[in-house]
Amino acid sequence: MSAPAAPGPEVPEGGPPALWDPIVRLTHWGIAAAVLLNATVTAESDTLHLWIGYVAGALLVLRLVWGLVGPPEARFGAFPPSPRRALAHLADLLGGRPKAYPSHNPAGALMVYALWATLAVLVLTGIALAPDGPGGTADRNAAFGRGEWSVVLEGGARLGERDEEMVEDVHETAANLLLILAALHVAGVVVESRGMRRNLLRPMLLGARGRAR
């Protein structure tokens, strides 16, 4: 019989945590900072751009693991993806009768999974294009013994020689999509906060009283 999960932060009646746990907050703001830095400050050819991408990937992995072992409101089971429930929640919000949830609301949950999936594509394609660093061109050349990379398929077949341009297109598309999703996420937080008359950003910062408890 498994041990009971550790209690999470205090959850107001019918609402999200008064303060998200440190791992959720670390991964949330760390990934946000990494995406903004690589989108606005660093260049794709910079070594710093590459390593910021590795940090973002590591934070994503940490958050996914935390979704399995973290406190109840941080686990995947607390906010399963459901387009039907998301549409119902948006209808309730537009109708002025939004419901509160002890974790992410259904619309927010879909956004969370979309952000994570897009970030995963961005990080993996960035690693595939990286000239240096773990998983970069040098590692692939050593593994395949050739001056260009390819994907090894079942049975030894090879696919993707000289497809680096395609990977670059996917990487750029994922980067642009991630920024669009992030902007929609921010807009959604603003709309939800007004509709529910509750500051949904504060629990991701320092809690309901504006300080850690």
Tell me the average pLDDT across 80-98.
89
Q: What is the pLDDT of residues 138-160, one digit of tens each?
A: 544 444 444 444 444 444 433 35
Residue 114 dihedral angles phi and psi, to the nearest 5°: -65, -40
Q: What is the pLDDT of residues 97-113, one digit of tens each?
A: 888 888 999 999 999 99
Q: What is the pLDDT of residues 160-178, one digit of tens each?
A: 545 788 888 999 999 999 9
H/E segment holding residue 125: helix 106-129
Residue 48 dihedral angles phi and psi, to the nearest 5°: -60, -40
